[in-house]
Structure 1
Amino acid sequence: MADKISPEGNKKPKLPLIRKIYKGILMFENEIEEIEHMDTREDDIWVITYPRSGTTMTQEMVYLIQTLDFDTASKVQLDERFPMIEVKDDRYPYYKGLKFIVEMKSPRMIKSHLHHFLLPTQLQNGKGRIIYLVRNPKDVVTSFYRLMQWGDQLVDGDKSFDQFIDAFVEGKGYACPWPRHVLEYWERRNNKNILFLKYEDVIKDKTATVRTIATFLGRTLSEDDVTRIVEHCHVDKMRDNDKVNMSYWRDIRYVNDNSEGGFINKGKPGVWRQVLTEEQSAKIDKLLKELDGSGLELEQT
């Protein structure tokens, strides 16, 4: 398996990503002031989510739908092919910041967890395409905590699961508040440059999702193309794929392989039912209530 635990990984340095708050939103160190005013391109493709909402799977789908380049996908890290724009940290090989993205050839494929109001103004105004994915917040917080454990990114105030959930519910965690994040994109779902997807629907029918994304991007795929992309993006294959599973982190820094999770976990809805207590679940129900009246309904897996 490509994601096999490396004993040497525990000897690596700890490299916590630096946190900051900008316009009330907790994020990692970045160049947000420049991002807000950057030039976007009409053919940009942005995959945007609240973290742990199916981002990696969607990125890989989009990359292959756009390029059909399975060879490059098998050789080049997703973080290089499809970089995250709002993290800059020179200690990491692929968090290169805005300059790297500015110099990318078109069509650029860009990952982000930014709220809509923090996106480049040109993108907010329709210059560039956005694929947004939403997921049941109970699965989101469960998966996010496990990732932060594995990545050794928890800090005082969110180290326990209860603390992490409280920060999520109170709107103090990374990229929070979750309802605001989701609703900013939902309210713009009919904009011609936005495709709004639900994680649970994607998992239920990846074939239909690939076709939907292809139509949105103006791509024509054969039945064989669709089948190959769906098979490539199966969670078991992605978990073992060292070009998408973040296992390269072990080459540069400490990760907690004794934790319950990893970068790619179950890859299906409903895992929260085996993890959350009734009290924890009830807390997150308060976030779901904030969607009332919006028309957005999330499947209670």
Structure 2
Amino acid sequence: MSEASENGASEKPRLNLEIVKCRGILIAKCERDEIEKMEMRDDDIWVCTFPRSGTTLTQELVYLIETLDFEKAKSVQLDDRFPIIDVKDDRFPYYRGVKFVEQMPSPRMVKAHAHFDFLPEQLQNGKGRIIYLARNPKDVITSYFHLLQWLDELRDDNNTWTSFFNSFIDGTALHCPWPRHVLKYWERRNDSNVLFLKYEELVKDLPKGVRTIAKFLGKDISDENVARICDHCSVENMKKNDKVNLSYWRDVKKVNDDAGGGFINKGKAGAWKHVLTQEESEKIDILLKEVEKSGLTFELH
């Protein structure tokens, strides 16, 4: 048991990420200019998502498909093996920014919640590989709110479900607008360096998803290793795996374990049905219709 768990998370400081506005979009403070100018490598792998779209699952899948290093996966934090690039904050152990990624050995695996046009210019132009995961926004918004509650990251001016919901709908919440985020990647889905996946399809048939990712990465993977990866990445194992479940945050800052959700929850589609009202669901339908104009549809479980 961690010291934070023994003494109570409330004794930890209330650390909040600094949020800034870039091109009209709220993002976490990061080295925006340095990211766009980064020198890419051909074998770089970037997992890009709107928050709460299956990011951690996809990162762990990609890491194991690429390396088959289960021992390291069980002993080293995912945030160390597969760092996020678009947060820079020295108060946190793994938000180390561009320099850390630049010094990583190949193949570098990087996580980003950035909109497509915030990515490195070389990556946008085809150098390096992008795996993008999109998820039904009804599940995204409910999971997103619970996560920010748990992390104590809801801003004082946007700390109720109603205010957060409205900011998601009107496109002013962190990383929003959601339609713009997914559509920018959807438009590039046929690029040779882009793999566009849907969360609902991935969790419905995880072995198929593993093989799809492996093919994209040029990896020949055995049925035995597919099964090992799927077992390692099952929601039951991910929830109790302290190398992926973000439990180390309890050692860093205040979290709200009574908030009704954590970092990894049910790991399946459809939780929104127990949260959203009919009126709220219909408002998100408007966002879905916006993306459907481009041919992007989601299964509403």
TM interval, short-chain normalised: over 0.9
Question: Could you tell me how far apart the structure 2 residues matched to 1:30 and 1:216 are?
Answer: 29
Question: Could you tell me how far apart the structure 1 residues matched to 2:7 and 2:226 are?
Answer: 38
Q: Give the equivalent residue in structure 1 for 2:170.
A: 170
2:157 aligned counterpart, secondary structure = coil
Q: Which amino acid aligns with 1:285?
A: D
Q: Give the equivalent residue in structure 2 for 1:220.
A: 220
Q: Give the equivalent residue in structure 1 for 2:40.
A: 40
Conserved? CA contact 1:113–1:175, under 8 Å: yes
Deviation, 1:293, is 2.0
Deviation, 1:134, is 0.4
Question: Could you tell me how far apart the structure 1 residues matched to 2:64 and 2:108 are?
Answer: 13
Q: Give the equivalent residue in structure 2 for 1:152.
A: 152
Conserved? CA contact 1:9–1:253, under 8 Å: yes
- The residue correspondences of 1:87-106 to structure 2 (distance < 5 A) are 87-106=87-106
1:117 pairs with 2:102: no
Q: Give the equivalent residue in structure 1 for 2:296.
A: 296
Q: Give 5+ residue unaligned stretches, structure 1.
A: none
2:72 aligned counterpart, secondary structure = helix
Q: Give the equivalent residue in structure 2 for 1:181.
A: 181
Q: Give the equivalent residue in structure 2 for 1:287.
A: 287
Q: Which amino acid aligns with 2:51?
A: P
Deviation, 1:283, is 1.5
Q: Give the equivalent residue in structure 1 for 2:25.
A: 25
Structure 1's 115 and 6: CA in aligned 2 closer, same or farther, altered over 3 A?
A: farther
Deviation, 1:157, is 2.6
Q: Which amino acid aligns with 1:288?
A: L
Q: Give 5+ residue unaligned stretches, structure 2.
A: none
Output one character per residue of 1:12-32: Cα deviation in whole Å (capped at 9) or x when no partner. Answer: 101000000111111111001
TM-score normalised by L of structure 2: 0.98
What is the Cα-based RMSD across aligned positions, in Å?
1.3
Q: Give the equivalent residue in structure 2 for 1:275.
A: 275
Q: Which amino acid aligns with 1:102?
A: E
Question: Could you tell me how far apart the structure 2 residues matched to 1:281 and 1:9 are?
Answer: 34
Structure 1's 282 and 7: CA in aligned 2 closer, same or farther, altered over 3 A?
A: farther
Deviation, 1:33, is 1.1
Question: Could you tell me how far apart the structure 1 residues matched to 2:130 and 2:30 are?
Answer: 20
- The residue correspondences of 1:244-263 to structure 2 (distance < 5 A) are 244-263=244-263
Q: Which amino acid aligns with 2:156?
A: D
Question: Could you tell me how far apart the structure 1 residues matched to 2:65 and 2:130 are?
Answer: 15
Question: Could you tell me how far apart the structure 1 residues matched to 2:218 and 2:261 are?
Answer: 37
Question: Could you tell me how far apart the structure 1 residues matched to 2:7 and 2:262 are?
Answer: 16
Conserved? CA contact 1:116–1:184, under 8 Å: yes
TM-score normalised by L of structure 1: 0.98
Q: Which amino acid aligns with 1:70?
A: F
Question: Could you tell me how far apart the structure 1 residues matched to 2:224 and 2:94 are?
Answer: 32
Question: Could you tell me how far apart the structure 2 residues matched to 1:77 and 1:131 are?
Answer: 21
Deviation, 1:252, is 1.2
Deviation, 1:162, is 1.0
Conserved? CA contact 1:6–1:250, under 8 Å: no
Q: Which amino acid aligns with 2:161?
A: F
1:130 aligned counterpart, secondary structure = strand
2:201 aligned counterpart, secondary structure = helix
2:164 aligned counterpart, secondary structure = helix
Structure 1's 154 and 170: CA in aligned 2 closer, same or farther, altered over 3 A?
A: same
Q: Give the equivalent residue in structure 1 for 2:131.
A: 131
- The residue correspondences of 1:183-202 to structure 2 (distance < 5 A) are 183-202=183-202
Structure 1 runs, 4 residues or longer, greater than 3 Å off? 4-7
Question: Could you tell me how far apart the structure 2 residues matched to 1:143 and 1:193 are?
Answer: 29
Deviation, 1:6, is 4.9
